[in-house]
Copies of this chain bind each other. A is one copy, B any other.
C-alpha cells in the first residue's frame, strides 16, 4: 500500500530557475490528490512522468496566484485530452468565477464534469471521504482566507487470526464485531478473548499540508501525530518580523509547529526567491526539529509505516 508525497513546486510567490511555484501530489494507495497548482504544474507532472488523467481531486489552499495560476491550464489540457471522468476542485468559493470566466472567454465547454466544492476557512471540516481515506481542511492564518489539508487513512480494524477462523465456526455477523474489538463466545459458552484471536491493525498514515500561514498554533490539534508535515518556511528567523507582516512563517517557526504537533517528519518549502542556497533554512529548522527535509522540485517522500519515511530524488 503506497502513500507518497511528490514535490512539484517549492518556491514562494515568484518562481526561480530551479523552483516552480507551490504544488504537490499526494498518492494515498493509488488515489491521486493534487495540492495547490501554481503556474507550470502540468509541465512538472509531465516532467516527472505522471499521467495527468489519474488526478481526480484538486485542493487549492488559497487564491494567491502562486497557488492556483496553473489550474486553468491543467483543466484545459485534461479537456483537450478528452477526459470524461469527474474532476473535483476544493477551494475558496471565488475560484469558481475565475475558472468559469476563463472557460467562457476561450469558448471552451468542458467535455467532463467539473465539480466545485467551496472550502470552509473558519473551522476544520472533512471535505473528502471514501472507505479507506479522508481529507480534512482546516484554517491557516494568512492575508487571504486559507486552509491547510490533512490527508489520512481511516483507522483500520483489527485483523482476525487465520488459525482461529480455521478452527472455530464463527457466524458471519460476528466478524465485524470481532474486528471492532469484541470477544467471541461460541455455542458452548466458551469465551475467546479478542486479543488472543486478533492481531493489531496497521497504523493509519497521514500527511498534513500547511502553506501559506504565519506561526499559528491552532493547527496543532488537527495535524497532531501526522507522519509527515509540509509546513511553509518562507524566511529565516532573522526575518521573523517580515514573516509576521506578510503572514508567513520562518524555518524555526515551522520546526516549532512540527515539534509541538509531535509529527514524525517535517518538510519545509515555499522558500523566498532571495535564498539561493537553502542550507541555512534547513539548519535552522533542524536545530529545533531534527527530522526535517527540504522540499525540492521532484523529491518524493514515501510514508512506509508510522515510523519510517524514505526520500527519493528524481
Binding site for B on A (CB under 8 A): 13-17, 20, 39-40, 42-43, 46-47, 63-66, 69-70, 72-73, 76-77, 80-81, 92, 94-95, 97-98, 101-102, 105-108, 143-144
Q: Is the CB of B101 within 8 A of A95?
A: no
Q: How far is the CA of A105 from the CA of B99 in the complex (A)?
A: 12
Q: Is the CB of A16 within 8 A of B65?
A: no
Q: Are B106 and A73 in contact (CB under 8 A)?
A: no
Q: Besides A15-B43, A17-B47, 6 other CB < 8 A contacts?
A: A13-B77, A15-B42, A39-B40, A40-B40, A40-B43, A69-B102
User: How many copies altogether?
Assistant: 2
Please, which residues of chain B bring their CB within 8 A of the CB of A92?
A: 105
Does B17 contact A65, Cβ atoms closer than 8 Å? no
Q: Find out whether the CB atom of B46 lies under 8 angstroms from the CB atom of A17.
A: yes
List residues of chain B with CB within 8 A of the CB of A39: 39-40, 42-43, 70, 73
Query: In the complex, which residue of chain B has the Cβ closest to the Cβ of A143?
Result: B107
In the complex formed, the residue of B with least CB distance to A71 is: B69
Q: Which residues of B contact A64 (CB under 8 A)?
A: 106-107
- The listed residue (B13, B15, B63, B73) touching A69 by CB distance below 8 A is B73
List 25 A–B pairs whose Cβ atoms lie within 8 Å, in order of A's numbering. Answer: A13-B76, A13-B80, A14-B80, A14-B81, A15-B42, A15-B43, A15-B46, A16-B46, A17-B46, A20-B43, A39-B40, A39-B42, A40-B40, A40-B43, A63-B107, A64-B107, A65-B72, A65-B73, A65-B76, A66-B76, A69-B72, A69-B73, A69-B76, A106-B144, A107-B144
The closest CB in chain B to the CB of A41 belongs to B39
Q: How far is the CB of A116 from chain B (nearest CB, A)?
A: 14
Give CA–CA (A13, B72) in the complex, Å: 13
A234 to chain B, nearest CB (A): 13
A107 to B40, CA, bound (A): 22
In angstroms, Cα B77 to Cα A13, docked, is: 8
Q: Ordered nearest first, which 6 A-B pairs have the shortest CB separation? A: A39-B73, A94-B105, A65-B76, A69-B73, A63-B105, A40-B40
